[in-house]
Amino acid sequence: AQSVTQLDSQVPVFEEAPVELRCNYSSSVSVYLFWYVQYPNQGLQLLLKYLSGSTLVKGINGFEAEFNKSQTSFHLRKPSVHISDTAEYFCAVIPYSSASKIIFGSGTRLSIRP
């Protein structure tokens, strides 16, 4: 079975500060990795994904994530956040063996202070 752990349920940061949202996963098979963002009162939107190749993945809105196989982690980073980044962020995996069913973490609420 697979599981995704987002270590922080809430992360408050000041505007223009860097941020890292942590994600660890557990799986007996290889997985594809995703980060989704959910702005208030909206659905989830794909931020970035890791399928294969370079372990550093760049996404929309200046976000990037690094896949670390030995640590089974896929942390999300942004060097300088804006008020508009206020949202909930979900880490997710799709195991190779069940290519169509995604498993989500519980989410991290990012709040930006001016």
Partner 1 sequence: DAEITQSPRHKITETGRQVTLACHQTWNHNNMFWYRQDLGHGLRLIHYSYGVQDTNKGEVSDGYSVSRSNTEDLPLTLESAASSQTSVYFCASSEAGVNYGYTFGSGTRLTVV
Residue 17 touching partner 1 (CB under 8 A): no
The minimum distance between CB 102 and partner 1, in angstroms, equals 6
Stretch that binds partner 1, among 20-28, 62-70, 73-81, 94-102 (CB under 8 A): 94-102
Residue 30 touching partner 1 (CB under 8 A): no
The minimum distance between CB 42 and partner 1, in angstroms, equals 6
Please work out the total of residues on this chain that contact partner 1, with binding judged by CB under 8 A: 22
Residue 104 touching partner 1 (CB under 8 A): yes
Q: For residue 12, with 0-12 CB atoms within 10 Å meaning exposed, 13-18 middle and 19 or more buried, which class applies?
A: exposed
